[in-house]
Structure 1
């Protein structure tokens, strides 16, 4: 049997396993192991698995992941979960669609400490959705804005998805974080523009709320100044070279402990819960990374990536057209695959092609995560939609998906901008000496 055919069968087997609900890490590891057994031998596959497990366990760069996760959980324990939305609501809630704008700002702020799309939409949504409905907002519009805004957590540093991509693709995590800042800001801006335009033409979607005085606004701002200092210090220090990513995460954990003490949340129960959740999530992600490396090794042995790269070289199409085709393929796969599964499945296949076209691996990391984010709100999977629906149980899924349509349009425009102008992604890392 031709190696390429074995590789194709392996990819289809992986998709089948994911479709029937086999966990991502298990699916990747089993497919990679069986594929290596077929391509090489059972002994070689077992040796490779042992080597991969050892290398992942002792990889220094991987220490950044549990540390940033611990920082996030400590901040949750300190009571920082809903503060960003509440402060933004005080500043812009009195405008048309103001609470919608506040929800996007809240998701962006919370994303800077959570690093997770699902955590962002669940936390900000639980605070914002009841407030928006109480203010008379259209339920589908409110839920759609929150589901879309939650995707900011996957891109804005410290992003868990970018950490995993950096490890798999062997790209600097610090450079990825720096590159994500402008795309993350412009993504939030595109969502806000969509809200402003919608509420301009249909004011009933997002009525004005009561104006809050400046004293209340400043009091709310002072309530999050400690979290803002943490984010700026950690991410800013990483950008300008004070810290390596692992050092930045370590500093972030120490500062988060200090914030817990200042906010009166420093107790054994809260700290134990933060450690337990961090260990649980870290173990799951480590298994996924081990499985992804095994699967990527299997794909490289089959020669599928080389075959696709040579096909690209022989195509009479511009690099932009090929990138658009890749984006469409990712969007189709993202309609039924979990975001992390999509990243781990496609990185070993598409990254060599993108490099062959002359694009930066840092740009591809942002492009991939940005495309992955759209899958969080794209039917039929749309995990963020189901999270929001679990908060507003009386809002039909169909109404939420209709409310997401304007934000999906904003997503496609934003993705087109990143493809047409890679400098949006690459300017800041180059300016910071990356």
Structure 2
């Protein structure tokens, strides 16, 4: 009989092959997990296991947080909040060298708090910010590099869809994950802004100053984001201080976003039906992915691969830091050809038991994983954010965008090193709110 570890290793290779062939990640995970359980257990036992996991997943109360936050995001889109954060930041700092690039980072952070998605963030802010940077004669590589890097904030800033999925798979508190993401999200944005400031100091022609906006234009732009900002602070703040559970916070957010549409005069049948349709489409995709991920995680657990790797790490006696650096290198390597969600769902069942074995916090690991996943959105050859920008820009070659990303990748690696060296950056706020 073939050892279960060999079956597990073969399953991982098959999954990678399926993803390379373009099979949807949820389908690939479910297929490998289901077939693997059939080989390890029996067809009858595997069928029962698949049915139980599917039913338990769909009926989980906490999974309701996903479609509700997605609905909140789409209602905010319908309310016309997509460009407001960039406009406000551009009015205040656009007249400085690199100011529009810094404003795009601020816009990505603000919009990421609405969308929870890196790709949605980079697509929206690029469509707004890139024409403005072109008018100001920004270097194409510099402008697109800043946008690609800033877009990754959408995966980390709460309410992050990636953190919600991780919390469900790893059975961790979504509220604690959101709290843990606040400080890393702020420091990540500051690292990008510092990179922009340094580049423009060394080469001022990269980001020439735009026209200074008068104060009579600045305050209206700031007031325009006031309602959306209050919505975000109320929902996320209420979650942190214990007013709401994550699902209740998402429910309150959806109702508040509906009121926002009404306040802005955008509450129409077309807008609401469009938001509901987009929510159902996105939620259906995410549910398939989560079910597939849990099936794959069960398969990996049964094979004993995770336990074998945990024992191997413990046997090496290399220490948690060396083990985490090794994980980071594997994640960055896999991120070269896997999209972020696929990377998370493939590696979480393998790495999480090792994290427990090393005595590290699963909350910290969730932020570390998402942060490493974000780097995959911009580094070659996959770099999904780059392809989104190139699709919007059209005339800017991919090579130009990738060259512009290099300084921001260095900032990413420094920030990742900070999270590894100083775990308190992640764990301080959840501990303070506990």
Name 2:373's counterpart in structure 1: 372
Query: Using the alignment, how far apart are the partners of 1:3 and 1:228 within structure 2?
Result: 51
Deviation at 1:147, TM superposition (A): 0.6
Query: Using the alignment, how far apart are the partners of 1:5 and 1:30 within structure 2?
Result: 18
Alignment deviations for residues 8-46 of structure 1 (CA, whole Å, 9 cap, x no partner)? 000000000001100000000000011001000111111
Name 1:47's counterpart in structure 2: 48
Structure 2 residue 119 is the aligned partner of structure 1 residue 114: no
Query: Using the alignment, how far apart are the partners of 1:156 and 1:230 within structure 2?
Result: 15
Name 2:409's counterpart in structure 1: 408
Query: Using the alignment, how far apart are the partners of 1:358 and 1:294 within structure 2?
Result: 26
Name 1:247's counterpart in structure 2: 248
Query: Using the alignment, how far apart are the partners of 2:153 and 2:411 within structure 1?
Result: 13
Deviation at 1:317, TM superposition (A): 1.1
Name 2:216's counterpart in structure 1: 215
Name 1:67's counterpart in structure 2: 68
Deviation at 1:397, TM superposition (A): 0.3
Name 1:163's counterpart in structure 2: 164
Name 1:285's counterpart in structure 2: 286
Alignment deviations for residues 68-101 of structure 1 (CA, whole Å, 9 cap, x no partner)? 0000000000000011001100000000000000
**Which structure 2 residues correspond to residues 287-366 of structure 1 after superposition, within 5 A?**
287-366=288-367
Alignment deviations for residues 150-186 of structure 1 (CA, whole Å, 9 cap, x no partner)? 0000000000000000000000000000000000000
Structure 2 residue 262 is the aligned partner of structure 1 residue 264: no
Long gaps (5+) in structure 1: none
Name 1:3's counterpart in structure 2: 4
Name 2:206's counterpart in structure 1: 205
What's the secondary structure of 2:368's corresponding residue? helix
Alignment deviations for residues 203-252 of structure 1 (CA, whole Å, 9 cap, x no partner)? 00000011111221111001110000000000000011111000000000
Alignment deviations for residues 302-336 of structure 1 (CA, whole Å, 9 cap, x no partner)? 00000000001100312101100100000000110
Alignment deviations for residues 246-276 of structure 1 (CA, whole Å, 9 cap, x no partner)? 0000000111011000000001000000000
Name 1:90's counterpart in structure 2: 91
Query: Using the alignment, how far apart are the partners of 2:90 and 2:158 within structure 1?
Result: 23
Query: Using the alignment, how far apart are the partners of 2:299 and 2:50 within structure 1?
Result: 11
Query: Using the alignment, how far apart are the partners of 2:60 and 2:320 within structure 1?
Result: 34
Deviation at 1:354, TM superposition (A): 1.0
Alignment deviations for residues 39-59 of structure 1 (CA, whole Å, 9 cap, x no partner)? 001111111111011101110
Name 1:175's counterpart in structure 2: 176
Alignment deviations for residues 394-417 of structure 1 (CA, whole Å, 9 cap, x no partner)? 101001000000000000000000
Deviation at 1:430, TM superposition (A): 0.3
Deviation at 1:282, TM superposition (A): 0.3
Cα RMSD (Å):
0.5
Name 2:229's counterpart in structure 1: 228
Name 2:387's counterpart in structure 1: 386
Alignment deviations for residues 327-353 of structure 1 (CA, whole Å, 9 cap, x no partner)? 000000011001000000000000010
Name 1:149's counterpart in structure 2: 150
What's the secondary structure of 2:172's corresponding residue? coil
What's the secondary structure of 1:151's corresponding residue? helix
Name 2:21's counterpart in structure 1: 20
Long gaps (5+) in structure 2: none
What's the secondary structure of 1:249's corresponding residue? helix
Query: Using the alignment, how far apart are the partners of 2:432 and 2:76 within structure 1?
Result: 31
Aligned residues, how many? 433
Moved more, 309-318 or 223-232: 309-318
What's the secondary structure of 2:395's corresponding residue? coil
Name 1:130's counterpart in structure 2: 131
What's the secondary structure of 1:18's corresponding residue? helix
Deviation at 1:358, TM superposition (A): 1.1
Name 1:275's counterpart in structure 2: 276
Moved more, 166-175 or 315-324: 315-324
